[in-house]
Amino acid sequence: MHDDSFYMGLALEQAREAMAAGEVPVGAVLVGERGEILARAGNRPIGLNDPTAHAEILVLRQAAALRGNYRLPGTVLYVIIEPCMMCVGALLHARVRRLVFGAPDPKAGACVSLYRLPEDPRLNHRLEVTGGVREEECRALLQDFFQARRL
């Protein structure tokens, strides 16, 4: 089984592919209980004309279809930036066991930055969260993308 850094590298590859397609460079990978890759995706809201087509949502959809079940217990999601409220909500509903993200998102993050949804005692599922994996690399990719757009 590989470590968090390895899987985050795969998420970074997906983010670069999304960026090449003109999307905000966010990539995600969903890993099964034995370390197998169940799904991988980059952001696609622009290409799909779908505001819900975040990388996290796309991998959940792929894995749910693969498993024939919307519940994905025991899985781990790797994503280069702290997920938004929509994505964290989907992770909780899917019963994902663990979330690993690269860079925090002070503008929309729903795990540690703006909100702490994964640990809210009012919800019926808890999501283990690990942040800061390959943080500098993840942050640099996003910053470079947005700086280039401002030029």
56 catalytic? Reply is yes
Token couple for 27 = 């990539």
**Contacts with 44 (C-beta within 8 Å, 6 or more apart), sequence order:** 18, 21, 23, 50, 53, 55, 58
In the chain, at which residue ranges do the beta strands (DSSP E only) sit? Answer: 27-31, 37-42, 76-81, 98-103, 128-130
Across-strand partners of 39?
30
Q: How far apart are CA 3 and CA 33, in angstroms?
A: 13
Catalytic residue among 56, 82, 128, 136: 56
CA distances from 4 to 29, 31, 68, 128 (A): 11, 10, 26, 14
Which residues does the annotation mark as catalytic? 56
